[in-house]
Amino acid sequence: MSVRDRLRVLVVDDMSTSRGLIIQALEAMGISDLRHAADAQGALQAMKARSVHLVLSDYNMPGMDGLGLLQAIRAEATTRGTGFILITGRADQQIVDRGKALGMNNFLRKPFTPAELRACLEAVVGRL
């Protein structure tokens, strides 16, 4: 069984269009175990209900931003080892550095192509 067949991914973005585009790209790669949330609180609840291997989260969301979500994930023993990719249109060095300090596995700058998304994922989970 390949990585893509076993991989459980959670996509977190407050913009339904962005969520849909990311999910569509992941499905095109053959990743089928996908969940999604519209905000960080929804993501944390979804992760309590069923663990995931990887979270792809937007940075700019109302309430808790993507780095706040990452910090919450790393603070819990049950989710600490979950892979985390930050997706942002504002890949300022300060955001990237803070994400790395919090344990971010990778980041992807918007807009991105499906090939860039795949390369970003493979850098975290291995060849799909």
Q: In the chain, helix, strand, coil percent, each to 5? A: 45, 20, 35
Q: What's the pTM?
A: 0.96
Residue 124 domain-assigned?
no
Residue 123 inside a domain? The answer is no
pLDDT at res. 2: 84
Q: Is residue 62 part of a domain?
A: yes
End-to-end CA distance of the chain: 11
If you average pLDDT over residues 115-121, what whole number do you get?
97
98 dihedral zone (left: phi>0; alpha: psi -120 to 50; beta): alpha
**Domain presence at residue 34:** yes
Name the one residue in this structure whose structure tokens are 């023993």.
77
Query: What range defines the domain where residue 23 resides?
Result: 3-110
User: Residues 88-112: what's their mean pLDDT?
Assistant: 93
- Give the mean pLDDT of 114-123: 97
Residues 6+ apart with CB under 8 A from 26: 9, 11, 34, 117
At 88, list the tokens.
């942002």
In a domain? residue 115 = no
| Structure-block tokens of residue 63 | 């309430």
Place of tokens 């585009």: 21
Kindly state whether residue 66 falls inside one of the protein's structural domains.
yes
What is the percent of the chain where pLDDT is above 70? 100
User: Per the domain annotation, does 31 fall within a domain?
Assistant: yes
- Give me the mean pLDDT over the 66-74 stretch: 98
Q: For all residues of the chain together, what is the average pLDDT?
A: 96
**26 located within any domain:** yes
In degrees and rounded to multiples of 5, residue 58 shows phi and psi of -65, 155
List CB contacts of 97: < 8 A, sequence separation 6 or more: none
Number of domains in the chain: 1
| Domain at 63, CATH number | 3.40.50.2300
